[in-house]
């Protein structure tokens, strides 16, 4: 299906063998029903492996650094992870329903041009995770005495690029095997420390070291970190059959997201609590050796593989978002070539930046990065989910999303204004850099901005959409998409 004209005559794909024949063809185009063969369990493993990785260790250590004990840190991490998991897993239902990547689906809420800012923000998030991931793998290798940080950063980014080029199905396969490795080492680590009694009971004393400000910082950091996956959840569910039950895919995705993220964040918190003077890399290497020599290295290695998997998912998602943005300005054919070019653009520039960043960058900037992401992403996910579940109730025209003169238009003021209102509503509650909002100060340093922006943006979007003629839209959809599967052939 072309993006310039949804009525273009279908083009039969070339019959290819060898390596090139294994490379995914589809990018932002619709996945026809005959190709919907995804497995439900893959929604758990792709996100378990993508969440249980080295960056999550750093997030888990934040609470200990802020003065909370292990018990309060784990509670804050669990609460934040749950709050972030709910909207992210809800996005997973959109992939099977529409057969499209996540960011294309922002056009009905923001318009073809209006969504450009959202896509720019998403690209920054994707690219940023590639950079931070490569940098952290390089830092880990150096701290363990395995060689040059820049070389490891570049090598990990190249591995992520190769996996992204092969695409959707190979990413899912890789994440299945990485999940198995992660589950094994996590269970051995946790059970081993517990059986050997290496975690003092005093660390779980809920009467000690509680402070509302740091607690909410950890909650917000965990929720924001989880919510960053919202930009590309349906990228990895769009090959699922459309009859997939929403409840089943939400539960399956939630399981992978919550268990993977919380498990590795909890390990990061344990390492920081047991060895507060060590960073989380050396802390994990040492605490793993409490169970048996070499276990810490095995956990770090599995977490490194998970991180490469996540980086590959981000290169893949960044490519899809770049193509979507380009297509909004000038209609493009979603060919294999443009997939390759945009993957290389995201991956190679990310590799260079990862190699150039100082090795202590993550330690000093992660908290701020997560807070900024929470501020920017919360209102978007509210608008997108409100539209899908409450306003249009899943009724969209795939064909019209790709028409320049289609029913969704170039600018959709309702989504744009609701998003901006959500941002403005958060400002008094924000604390970032040298700015502390008046309500942040009045609450004693408790940051609830993230939890204000989401309901405000969602409510105003719902309010603004009360006059949308949904019945008329559905009539247009029925006509526009009646032959959608007949034009869904891959374009080479």
Record the pTM.
0.91
Percentage of the chain with pLDDT > 70? 94
Write down the pLDDT at residue 17: 59
| 30-366 topology per CATH | Hydantoin permease (1.10.4160)
Q: Decide if pLDDT at 300 tops 80.
A: yes
Q: pLDDT-based confidence at 221, cuts 50/70/90?
A: confident
**Cα–Cα distances in Å, from 222 out to 78, 119, 228, 366, 377?**
8, 23, 10, 11, 14
Among 12-26, 94-108, 412-426, the range of highest mean pLDDT:
412-426
Identify which of 402, 400, 398 has the alpha carbon closest to the alpha carbon of residue 327.
402
Q: Is the pLDDT of residue 408 over 70?
A: yes
Helices (DSSP H) in 144-245: which residue ranges?
A: 149-166, 168-195, 212-227
Q: Is the pLDDT score of 19 beyond 50?
A: yes
Tokens 């330690």 appear where? Answer: 363
Average pLDDT over residues 59-77: 92
pLDDT band at 487 (very low <50, low <70, confident <90, very high): low
**Tokens 């420390």, residue located:** 193
The full set of domain ranges for the chain reads 30-366
The pLDDT score that the predictor gives to residue 1 is 40
**CA atoms 104, 105, 111, 116: torsion sign:** negative
Q: Which pLDDT tens digit goes with each residue over 325-367?
A: 999 999 888 889 999 999 999 999 999 999 998 877 776 666 6
Cα distances from 354 to residues 152, 359, 405, in angstroms, run 10, 9, 41
pLDDT in tens, 257-298: 999 999 999 999 999 999 998 888 899 999 999 999 999 999
- Give the pair of three-digit tokens for residue 229: 């996956």
């Amino acid at each position: 299906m072309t993006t310039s004209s949804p009525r273009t005559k279908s083009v039969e794909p070339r019959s290819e063998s060898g390596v090139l024949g294994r490379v995914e063809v589809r990018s932002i185009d619709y996945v026809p029903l005959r190709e919907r063969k995804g497995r439900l369990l893959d929604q758990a493993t792709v996100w378990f492996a993508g969440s249980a990785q080295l960056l999550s260790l750093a997030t888990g250590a934040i609470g200990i650094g802020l003065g909370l004990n292990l018990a309060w840190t784990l509670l804050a991490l669990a609460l934040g992870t749950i709050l972030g998991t709910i909207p992210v897993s809800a996005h997973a239902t959109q992939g099977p329903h529409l057969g499209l990547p996540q960011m294309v689906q922002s056009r009905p809420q923001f318009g073809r041009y209006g969504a450009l800012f959202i896509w720019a923000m998403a690209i920054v998030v994707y690219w940023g995770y590639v950079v931070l991931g490569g940098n952290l793998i390089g830092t880990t290798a150096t701290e363990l005495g395995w060689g040059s940080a820049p070389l490891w950063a570049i090598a990990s980014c190249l591995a992520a690029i190769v996996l992204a080029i092969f695409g959707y199905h190979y990413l899912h396969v890789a994440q299945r095997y990485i999940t198995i490795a992660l589950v094994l080492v996590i269970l051995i680590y946790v059970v081993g420390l517990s059986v050997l009694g290496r975690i003092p009971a005093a660390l779980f004393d809920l009467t000690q070291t509680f402070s509302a400000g740091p607690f909410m910082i950890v909650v917000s950091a965990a929720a924001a970190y989880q919510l960053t996956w919202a930009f590309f959840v349906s990228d990895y569910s769009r090959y699922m059959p459309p009859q997939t039950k929403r409840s089943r895919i939400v539960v399956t995705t939630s399981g992978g997201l919550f268990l993977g993220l919380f498990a590795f964040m909890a390990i990061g918190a344990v390492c920081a609590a047991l060895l507060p003077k060590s960073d989380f890399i050396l802390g994990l290497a040492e605490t793993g050796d409490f169970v048996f020599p070499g276990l810490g290295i095995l956990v770090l290695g599995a977490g490194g593989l998970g991180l490469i998997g996540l980086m590959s998912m981000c290169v893949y998602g960044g490519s899809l978002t770049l193509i979507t943005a380009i297509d909004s300005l000038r209609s493009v054919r979603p060919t294999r070539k443009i997939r390759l070019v945009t993957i290389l653009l995201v991956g190679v520039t990310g590799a260079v930046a990862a190699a150039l960043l100082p090795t202590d960058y993550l330690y000093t900037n992660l908290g701020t990065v997560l807070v900024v992401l929470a501020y920017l992403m919360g209102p978007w996910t509210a608008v997108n989910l409100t539209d899908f579940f409450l306003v249009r109730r899943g009724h969209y025209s795939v064909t019209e999303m790709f028409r320049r003169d289609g029913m969704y238009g170039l600018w959709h003021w309702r989504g744009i204004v609701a998003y901006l209102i959500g941002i403005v509503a958060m400002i008094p509650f924000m604390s970032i850099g040298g700015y502390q909002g008046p309500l942040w100060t009045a609450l004693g340093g408790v940051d609830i901005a993230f939890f204000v922006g989401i309901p405000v943006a969602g409510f105003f979007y719902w309010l603004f959409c009360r006059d949308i003629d949904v019945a008329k839209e559905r009539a247009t959809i029925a006509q526009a998409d009646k032959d959608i599967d007949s034009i869904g052939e891959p374009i080479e």
